[in-house]
Chain A
Amino acid sequence: MANYVIKRLFSMIPVLLVVSIVVFLLVHLVPGDPAAVMLGAEATPQQLAELQEQLGLNKPLAEQFFNWLGHMLSGDLGHSLVSDKEVLTLLWERLPATMALIMYALLISVVIAIPLGIISAVRHNTRWDYGAMLIALIGVSVPNFWAGLLLIMTFSLHLGWFPSTGYVDVTQNLWKHLEHLALPAFALGFLQAGIVTRMTRSSMLEVLKQDYIRTIRAKGGTEKVVILKHALKNSMIPIITIIGINFGLLLGGTVVVETIFSIPGIGQLLVQSVFNRDYPVIQGVILCVAVIYVLISLVVDLLYAYFDPKIDYNEG
């Protein structure tokens, strides 16, 4: 297992190298002089020269990349061109809100999806199955930003049950924190719930057909034991995989949902930075999210060990 973890960690190096090259090249995809684009039409030649110097844009591309990579590895993601704050500081300030939103969305999706998926599989081809699949299908078809708008219209503007926008940190007031994140987390989690429900159903159906399930039933195992102890645990690998893969979907979804609900997370920071042409912050956010995503993939791979001890980690 330790060998597998080390091997898996090493396999992340080329992936992260490609990620860093792409993030670095983002600034160079900007048509024309990136410094001129960032500063706008009113910039003086002196300001342009200063920014080119600050970003190292007047050096050869390869040199620029290695300088930039060196700074990244030492934790220096540069400074915001708007607020002059360190990008890393901005990310640390914004990450808690985004992570809280994602965690609640994941929680909501799992709470909805696993029971729905189980019911759907156990009551295969009945009204329960069709009903659960209809909910799942609506989940995967409704855009999360539209769901967010409908939730605001219904539960904030008409019923007044939840605040429509804003964010309160968990350390300030737990209740208000939950109140502010309930609607955005639901808007975000509903899509995820649709995907996980479908996966849980198909995975459970596959497992329920296996011989060992029939054996447990023949030995007098109750339905509760068969489903929760044996079938669900053995269905977990594809379910965890899909949750892991869709973590990226949630990270992407936060951009729009944070914008609608005015949550000061990294998604909102990214959108603001795009409109301000604050490229160091854009690069910082994208790099941060990609690194989180790569790490999540690693965690998902390692979680397999718990759910499927048959996997031989000494191979391949």
Chain B
Amino acid sequence: MEYVEITKEAEKKGQFAEQMRAFWKVFSIRKTAVFGLAIVCFVILIAILAPLLAPFDPVEDVDYGNRIANPSATHLFGTDEFGRDIFSRVLMGAQVSIAISVSAVTISAAIGIVIGLISGYYGRWVDNVLMRIVDGLMSFPPILFAIALMAALGNNMGNIIVALAVVYAPLFARLVRGTVLSVKNKEYVEAIQVMGGSHIRILFKHILPNCLSPLLIQMTTYFAYAILAEASLSFIGLGVPQPEPSWGNILYDGRQYMLEAPWITVFPGVAIAVTVLGLNLLGDGLRDYLDPRMK
């Protein structure tokens, strides 16, 4: 029995490796997508290793004698108005920005999946009620809705994640519902229903896998949106509270010193733009691979 299980497991692993090889063969044709993937991997690595890579403490290492210093060998990206090292702050800012966007998008996708599955599968009044709520929530421009929620909840990292998750969840719900509607009347789903398969099993084991490709594409796009949204919120003072660095609030600091210290504004902006560019390129590549109709 144990031998059979081990063999099945090995077969699965073999299949997965085969699938990954097939994926890479097609995906790597598009050089821009590979470039995007490389950027995203690099930024994630930087975010993980930030505490080790940062030469100074981004919050505690205040040096008033070295205020708004030019970029140099000691301070690669220069210093801010408190003499703090911008390079270290940008590195740690990556950690904060990535953590917020990954958490917000993952939570919103999870909420959206549940709402979309229920809405699309059960249909009728359940679908009507849920989709009207979703339509209502989608009537708010995302960043404005996030600002309103932050105004009510107060600004801290947890609340930014909650606000962005609430803002993006309806978009995922709509996407999943659409896929469920196109799948739920297929013969294999009806066959499982006739054979007495439970609704939960049908939803999560047989319908959900069909939603994964569009979900993955959407999630990549929304990671980029979430990074921009977090930066926008922090930039207007409603995001990550000072002195904790985030790309948005470093830019906010630099706004007052644009003429004498443009580096405070330039480097975190480049970090945001490059990360979002990487995610966009990766998203385009995944779209071409997973949904060739949209090419």
List the interface of chain A (C-beta within 8 A of B).
14-19, 21-23, 26-27, 29-31, 137-138, 140-143, 145-146, 149-150, 152-153, 157, 202, 248-249, 251-253, 255-256, 259-260, 270-271, 273-275, 277, 279, 282, 285-286, 289-290, 293-294, 297
User: A152 near B140 (CB under 8 angstroms)?
Assistant: no
List the interface of chain B (C-beta within 8 A of A).
132-133, 135-137, 139-145, 147-154, 224, 228, 231-232, 235-238, 251, 254-255, 258-259, 262, 265-266, 269, 272-274, 276-277, 280-281, 294
A282–B146 Cα distance when bound, in Å, is: 12
- 16 extra interchain contacts, Cβ-Cβ under 8 A, other than A18-B137, A255-B147? A18-B133, A18-B135, A19-B140, A29-B149, A138-B273, A140-B276, A141-B224, A142-B273, A143-B228, A252-B142, A256-B143, A270-B148, A282-B148, A289-B140, A290-B139, A293-B141
User: A138 near B144 (CB under 8 angstroms)?
Assistant: no
User: B136 near A18 (CB under 8 angstroms)?
Assistant: yes
Nearest chain A CB to B149 CB, angstrom units: 7
| Top-7 shortest CB links A-B | A18-B136, A252-B143, A252-B141, A146-B269, A29-B152, A248-B141, A141-B277
* Residues of A with C-beta under 8 A to B153: 29-31
User: B151 near A22 (CB under 8 angstroms)?
Assistant: no
A73–B169 Cα distance when bound, in Å, is: 29
User: B258 near A157 (CB under 8 angstroms)?
Assistant: yes
* Residues of B with C-beta under 8 A to A289: 140-141, 144
- Given A149-B258, A152-B258, A275-B237, A14 contacting B272 (CB threshold 8 A): no
* Residues of B with C-beta under 8 A to A286: 140, 144-145, 148
- Given A15-B132, A19-B139, A142-B273, A30 contacting B280 (CB threshold 8 A): no
- Given A145-B232, A255-B236, A275-B237, A290 contacting B140 (CB threshold 8 A): yes
A253–B141 Cα distance when bound, in Å, is: 9
A22–B140 Cα distance when bound, in Å, is: 10
User: B281 near A293 (CB under 8 angstroms)?
Assistant: no
- Given A150-B269, A153-B262, A260-B255, A293 contacting B142 (CB threshold 8 A): no
The chain B residue sitting closest to A294, CB to CB, is B139
* Residues of B with C-beta under 8 A to A290: 139-140
A3–B176 Cα distance when bound, in Å, is: 30
B contact face: mostly helix, strand, loop, or mixed: helix
* Residues of B with C-beta under 8 A to A26: 148-149, 151-152
User: A140 near B280 (CB under 8 angstroms)?
Assistant: yes
User: B280 near A137 (CB under 8 angstroms)?
Assistant: yes
The chain B residue sitting closest to A283, CB to CB, is B148
* Residues of A with C-beta under 8 A to B136: 14-19, 21-22
User: A255 near B144 (CB under 8 angstroms)?
Assistant: yes
User: A141 near B232 (CB under 8 angstroms)?
Assistant: no
* Residues of A with C-beta under 8 A to B140: 19, 22, 248, 286, 289-290, 293
User: A143 near B276 (CB under 8 angstroms)?
Assistant: yes
A158–B273 Cα distance when bound, in Å, is: 23
User: A271 near B269 (CB under 8 angstroms)?
Assistant: no
The chain B residue sitting closest to A266, CB to CB, is B144
- Given A15-B139, A248-B142, A252-B142, A271 contacting B147 (CB threshold 8 A): yes
The one of A140, A145, A274 in contact with B235, judged by C-beta atoms closer than 8 angstroms, is A145
User: B269 near A282 (CB under 8 angstroms)?
Assistant: no
Nearest chain B CB to A281 CB, angstrom units: 10
* Residues of B with C-beta under 8 A to A31: 153-154
29 contacts between A and B (CB under 8 A): A14-B136, A15-B136, A18-B133, A19-B139, A22-B136, A26-B149, A137-B277, A137-B281, A142-B273, A143-B231, A143-B272, A143-B273, A145-B231, A145-B251, A146-B273, A149-B255, A149-B265, A157-B258, A157-B259, A248-B140, A252-B141, A252-B142, A252-B144, A255-B143, A260-B255, A271-B238, A282-B148, A286-B148, A297-B139
User: A30 near B152 (CB under 8 angstroms)?
Assistant: yes
A260–B269 Cα distance when bound, in Å, is: 15
* Residues of A with C-beta under 8 A to B274: 141
Nearest chain B CB to A120 CB, angstrom units: 14
- Given A252-B142, A256-B236, A290-B139, A141 contacting B273 (CB threshold 8 A): yes
User: A274 near B272 (CB under 8 angstroms)?
Assistant: no
